Structure formats: structure tokens, C-alpha cells
Chain A
Amino acid sequence: MAEFRFIGYLAEIVGKREVKIALENPRKLRDILGIEFPEKRSIVLINQHVGNLDSLILNGDNVVIIPIISGG
């Protein structure tokens, strides 16, 4: 299983804050998401390393997608 977390309004786009998906083969994050994502306004972290929507995701990966925000 790969684990996905979506932070802030990105969770609204996906409709869930987190989801687990079993992947038979490595797949591009973009294909797994299957929806339009604000790519330039998002940070993709795969196992705490910076990735992107074209990164390949494997079972066991922990993926967090985070919007650019600043907090005050």
C-alpha cells in the first residue's frame, strides 16, 4: 500500500485528507491522482524528499502534497 495525504485546500480537490492505495506496479503520481492539480502551487514530498507529479510511486511510499501558504 502507498499512503497519500493532501494538506489544506488540496484535500478539497481530492475529496479526502488521506487515502491508501495498493499499487501493483510503480505508477506516476499524476496518473494515480487522475485529476487536475495546481502543480505550480503544490509541494510534493515522497518519503520526506521533494518530488513532483511525474514521480513514480511504489507500494510502501508515503506521499504528502502540500499547498504553498505562508501563515501570517
Chain B
Amino acid sequence: MKGYAGSILRVNLSDRKISKEEISEEMKRKFLGGRGFAAKIIWDEVKGVDPLSEGNKIIFSTGPLTGLPLPGSGKMVIASKSPLTGGYGDSNIGSMAAVHLRRAGYDVLIVEGRSETPCYIAIHNDELKILDARDLWGKMTFEAQDLLEAKHGKNIGVLLIGPAGENMVRFANVISQKGRAAGRTGMGAVMGSKNLKAIVLKGTRGIPVFDEEKLKALGKEGYADIKGKENYDFWIRQGTMQVIEWANTNNVLPTHNFREGSFKFAEQIGGYTAEKIKVDRKGCPNCNMQCGIVVKDAENGNVELDYENVAMLGSNIGMDDLSKVAVLNRLADEYGLDTITLGSCLAFLMEASQRGLLDTRIEWGDLNGCKKVIEDLIKSRGLGEVIFEGVRKASERIGGESKNWAMHIKGLEISAYDCHASPGMAFAYGTSPIGAHHKDAWVIAWEVSTANRFSYTKEKVEKVIEHQRWRGGMFECLTTCRLPWIELDFGLHWYPKYLKAVRGEEISQQEIFELGDRIYALIRAYWVRENGGWSREMDCPPSRWFDEPWNQGDLKGSKLDRARYDEMLSWYYELRGWDENGIPQKRTLERLGLGDLALGLRENG
């Protein structure tokens, strides 16, 4: 089948062995690429290991559309057993590294083992070197990017970690191009545990496709379609920063550790304010709707802002000055920290401090206090030590009622939508396969636009599954950006057309949905196997949303209903063919072509 570079490149940092493996036709058909490939490899090869041990592996995975001249195709998935959650973890990133990996002749890079000393991997087509990184170790990501470009040239793709990853902060991320991030689930800590500072990629080959002329024509049409949308110009002005006003208006803007859904100072951290301090735009390769707004921060640094980062490091920690929010965002990018988890951790500390549960005080919106925590985090001391492993562990450490307001699901901190009055979105978070993240199912706009915003219906469950199939299945496997679809109304009908031109085979909506279901069952099976079982509580949001109604705003008094949420969970398991505890049933696995997984689940309880 066309559309694939055709091989997996495997590097073992312990014995420095390098090998290439062909990707089977069955693998391409059943798992498509990206997340599909990564999840299958992790299921097969990463069993019962400590995520920060030599036995864990980190997978850099592209899909059949990656790097091609199509909207949003500059993406890749980075996946591993997560040191933050203990389950399957992945995060996607838009970077030239994705394009270069494919042009170098690989769809997937697997890094395993552990180097004795700091190293980085340099790949140039068929040539792979493991190089000394002792001079890079300890460097911030922006400086390390410059140093690597000075050595290898500017026309490269770079994936790297900062001091957070080196010190295995459990929510360290992987950074590229000074601000692009594979933010979630602690992939940077896995690189750090392997003494792997960076991967430098240079590929100069073509990517084989079935019908190149057709693909070029379709790509051109797609870009023109996006550019012709009536909200295109406004998108270019504000990108995702416009969502601050949107979220605040709809009472879903996380505020003071998800205690409230609206922020008095939302305008001061929103898109119109961003436009005033904007100096540039930034985005992924092959994208004509770049979403990153680059601004000048309060300390004169340049930093790329997006909605999630600003909501979590702004309203959620009570910070009302965008240029100060931007400072924290830049520090997170330079140290290599997930902005979403960092924002949740800082808010957790502020609330704990307010409640008198900490020896050291930190106030809401305290920039210097936050900067001190970030410094301490890298050194695992003081308040930094408290949040070193995320809010789940922090609440176990502090004890008492703090677990009720440790805002995570499955150990992953919730991204930037408060759901006191959005049961469908809460449910999307609850059933996300990596923990509480919005990338798989973003149903909140649909939910607030219906007259049934506050309802708990089977229709909402079906909508979440539909999103999970498109977003968590198709987009994560292709691997292309999901933003053109909802943000600019770029039709889903484009993607089967692109796949046909690239692979030479038709793919139906039913096949796409089955792919999504297969990957969901596979990832759930992995969690169950590694966790030694499962329970419904693992798919539920924290108590705050159920037990602590909003104190302010237009929808004051709103909160979720636990029993009705649980009813949605029953519908979900039934629709997915999972049992009452959320474990895929044998017949479901067999229907999805995953019959061999049933044995793996039984063997591991």
C-alpha cells in the first residue's frame, strides 16, 4: 500500500543497536498510523514496566498524511507508558520533525533502553548517530534548539526536552521550535529517564503516494477552502485566544482551580488584549491557519500563546495580566513543562495555601510565587516537590479533603474547560483515553448550543463517541490537525479523499469508526492490563464538579449530578461493548480484530 515511508526505525540506547523493520500491510489497515501504530506497539512491547525504567519505550509516530501538502499535516504523535498516569499516554505535536521523519524514510521511530550518559539522536536519511549531549544537558529548550541548529543547520526538525524532562518532573513535555509542544502525559520525563536530550531529524526524500497529481490538486483545493471561510481573517488575528471570551461567556472558563466557570478579568487575558501585545504568529508546518499568537511578555521575552495555556495559567490561577501569564507560559516552554498540568498544579497549591494546608504561602495570581515554584519544581524541593508528580500525588501527600479538588482524571490534569454545567464535556473528559484531555472529544460547543445543556442523555454519550471516533481515532492516526474541522468548518469529507489519493484505497466512514473503536478498545485494554483491573470511578471527574456548586456568574448554583453521570457511563460501556466495569468484552475485542488481547487481559488479571 502506498502512502507510507514503509518502515519503523528502532534505536536501543542501552546497547546502541539500531534496526529497521517493515510495517506490515495488516498493521497499516488495522491501525492506519500515528496513535494507532503507537498504541499497538506499546501493547505488544511495554508490559508491566516502570514508566521511567529502561524497559519503557517512547514512540514517535506519524500517519499516512503526515508531511504531505495538505492542511494541518505537520503533526506527529509521541506515545509511551505515562509516568504521570501509569497508563497509556500520548500527545501530539506540530513540528518540522514530523515532516523530516517521513522524508528520511520512516513512519515510526522507537527509542528504547537508556543511555549511560546524556545523548541525542541525529538522523539524516539512512544515517543515524547517537551523539554526546553533555554540553546540552541543563540547557533550556530555546537555547538548546539554537545550539542544535548551529551544529546541524536550520533546515532540520528537532524534538527536545528542557531541565524539567532531564529531572523527570512527571509532567515534563517535548518541545520543538521554541514553543511547539507535545505537552501532555509526561513524554519529556520518559526522554529524560533515557538520558535523551534531543532528536534531530533531516530527511530529503519524497514520500511515496498513490496519485501525486491528484493529491496536489486536492491539497490546493483544501487550502483554498480554509482560506475562503468567513471567519478566516479573525482566526489569523486571534487564533485560539478568541476562546477566552467564548469560554467566559459560556461559563466554562476554569477559574480559581476550577471552582468557578467565569473570570472577572477575562477581557484582560483574552484575544483582544493579545492583539495589543502581539508581535508574530506561529504554527505547524503545512498549515495555513496558524493558531499560535506570539506576544511580548512582561519580561520582554517572546512567547507563543494559545487558549489552553492562557486559561490554565491565567484565570485558573487568578492571574489577570496577560503579559504575566505569558511569562509563565514562556518559562514552561523553556523548562519543558506541560502548561495545562502546571496551571492545575499551581492552582492546587494556591487553594491548599488559602486553606492553610501548606507551610509556605502562595497567593492567587502571584507571579513571583509561581516562578519560585517552577524553579523549585526542577530541583524537587519546597512547593515544587509537592507537585512534582502532578495533582493526584500532591493530594495524596497533603491528604484530607484535598482529593476532592485535585482536578484530574486518571492522573492527568483536566484541560481548560470547567464542566459544572456541562455534563457532556465532563463525560468527554471522563472517557478520554489518556486521562482528562479535550483532544479526543470536544462536545462543549454542541452542548451549550442545544436546549439540553444540563441534561444527561444517551444522545450526548453518542455524540462523545462520535467525536472520539473522528478526533481520537481518525485525526490522531492520519496524523493531521483537528482544528480545521470545527474552527473553520473544513468538512470531514476531505479526509477520505486525501487518503484515497495517498493510499490508493477507499476508506468508508464505517471503517473509520471501526478504526476508532479498535484503538479505543486497545488503549482501554492496555490501561486495564497495566493497572491490574478497572473500576467506574476511573472514568469519573473529581468531586468538586459534583459537590461544590458555582458561587457566582449567570449559572450560579450549577453542579453535576453523580447518579445521572453514572447512568451515562452505563450507556457508554454498553455502546462500546465493554462490561459494567469498563473493560472491553471478549466478543468486542474479537469483532474489532483484537481477539489476541483477551488472553493478555486474562493473564494479567
Contact = CB atoms under 8 A, between A and B. Distances in A.
Interface of A: 5, 7-9, 12-13, 38, 41, 43, 45, 48-50, 64, 66-72
Interface of B: 230-231, 233-235, 238, 240, 242-243, 245-247, 249-250, 271, 291, 306-308, 415-416, 438-439, 442, 444-445, 448-451, 453, 483, 486-487, 489, 554-555
Given A9-B230, A50-B451, A64-B249, A72 B240 contact: yes
Contacts of B306: 72
A38 B232 CA distance: 13
Contacts of B487: 69-70
Given A70-B445, A72-B240, A72-B483, A7 B247 contact: no
B232 to A, nearest CB: 9
A1 B554 CA distance: 19
Contacts of B555: 48
A69 B247 CA distance: 10
Contact of A43 (B240, B415, B449): B449
Given A8-B234, A12-B234, A38-B230, A71 B240 contact: yes
Given A43-B448, A71-B416, A66 B250 contact: yes
Residue from A66, A67, A70 whose CB has the most chain B CB atoms within 10 Å: A70
A70 B483 contact: yes
Contacts of A9: 230-231, 233-235, 242
A68 B449 contact: yes
21 contacts: A7-B242, A7-B245, A7-B246, A8-B234, A8-B271, A9-B231, A9-B233, A41-B231, A43-B445, A43-B449, A48-B554, A50-B448, A66-B448, A69-B246, A70-B243, A70-B442, A70-B486, A71-B240, A72-B243, A72-B308, A72-B438
B231 A50 contact: no
Contact of A67 (B246, B438, B444): B246
A50 B450 contact: yes
Contact of A8 (B231, B451, B489): B231
Contact of A50 (B307, B453, B554): B453
Nearest to B230: A38
Contacts of B453: 50
Contacts of A13: 230
A66 B249 contact: yes
B274 to A, nearest CB: 13
A68 B486 contact: yes
A46 to B, nearest CB: 12
A49 B250 CA distance: 11
A68 B246 CA distance: 9
A67 B445 CA distance: 9
A56 B554 CA distance: 21
